[in-house]
């Protein structure tokens, strides 16, 4: 189960998601987590998580919130809304 019913992952980034994969990877590494551990923490499979880090797929808001919580980061920092 990759996305809750009625929630669609984004395939086209908004300005706030530009560079998201790099910020996501940095946050994961700061917590010394593997991609597999990160994927499990948010209830996604490894392939989906890898696509988030590569910028091929952008998570829906509930997943973004889960990522921030799993990495001890602020959602606003993962999104980098200061660049918009």
User: How do residues 24-76 score in pLDDT, each as one tens digit?
Assistant: 999 999 999 999 999 999 999 999 999 999 999 999 999 999 999 999 999 98
Q: Could you tell me if 35 and 50 are in contact, meaning their C-beta atoms sit under 8 angstroms apart?
A: yes
CB within 8 Å of 82: residues ≥ 6 apart? none
What are the sequence ranges of the domains in the chain? Answer: 23-83
23-83 topology per CATH: 434 Repressor (Amino-terminal Domain) (1.10.260)
Reported as a pLDDT band with limits 50, 70 and 90, residue 80 is confident
d(CA 18, CA 38): 20
**Residue 32: per-residue pLDDT:** 97
* C-alpha to C-alpha distances, 8 to 1, 5, 11, 13, 30, nearest whole angstrom: 12, 8, 9, 13, 28
Reported as a pLDDT band with limits 50, 70 and 90, residue 6 is very low
| Alpha-carbon 82 to chain mean position | 18
The reported pTM is: 0.76
């Amino acid at each position: 189960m990759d996305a809750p019913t009625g929630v669609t992952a984004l395939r086209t980034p908004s300005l706030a998601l530009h560079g998201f994969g790099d910020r996501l990877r940095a946050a994961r590494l700061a917590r010394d987590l593997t991609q597999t551990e990160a994927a499990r923490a948010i209830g996604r499979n490894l392939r989906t998580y890898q696509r988030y880090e590569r910028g091929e797929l952008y998570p829906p808001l509930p997943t973004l919130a889960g990522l921030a919580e799993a990495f001890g980061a602020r959602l606003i920092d993962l999104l980098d809304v200061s660049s918009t």
